[in-house]
Amino acid sequence: MQDVPYMMQPMVAGYDDWAAEQNPQKIVPVRYHVNVFGSAGSGYELFEDAATEAMWFRASFFEYLETSPQKCFCTRVKGDSMHPTLIDRGTVLWQMANRYTAEGIYLFRQVNELRIKRLQMVNSHTIRIISDNADKGIYPTTLLNLSELQEHEFEIYGRYLWNCGIAR
Query: In 49-82, which positions are buried (b, 16+ CB within 10 angstroms) versus exposed (e)?
Result: eeeeeebebeeebbeeeebebeebbbbbbbbbbb
Q: What pLDDT shows up at residue 167? A: 77
Say how many CA atoms lie within 13 Å of 68 toward its Cβ.
2
pLDDT in tens, the chain (168 residues): 789 999 999 999 999 999 999 888 899 999 999 888 888 765 555 556 778 999 999 999 999 999 999 999 999 999 999 999 999 999 999 999 999 999 999 999 998 899 999 999 999 999 999 999 999 999 999 999 999 998 889 999 999 999 999 877
Q: Using CA atoms, how far apart are residues 56 and 140, in angstroms rounded to an integer?
A: 36
Nearest to 164 by CA among 101, 88, 73, 79: 88
**DSSP codes of every residue in 113-159:** EEEEEEEEEEETTEEEEE-SSS-TTTS--EEEEGGGS-GGGEEEEEE
CB 160 within 8 A of CB 143: no
Q: Is the pTM here over 0.85, yes or no?
A: yes
Give all domains of the chain, ordered by start, each with its CATH number: 6-163 (2.10.109.10)
Q: What pLDDT shows up at residue 75? A: 95
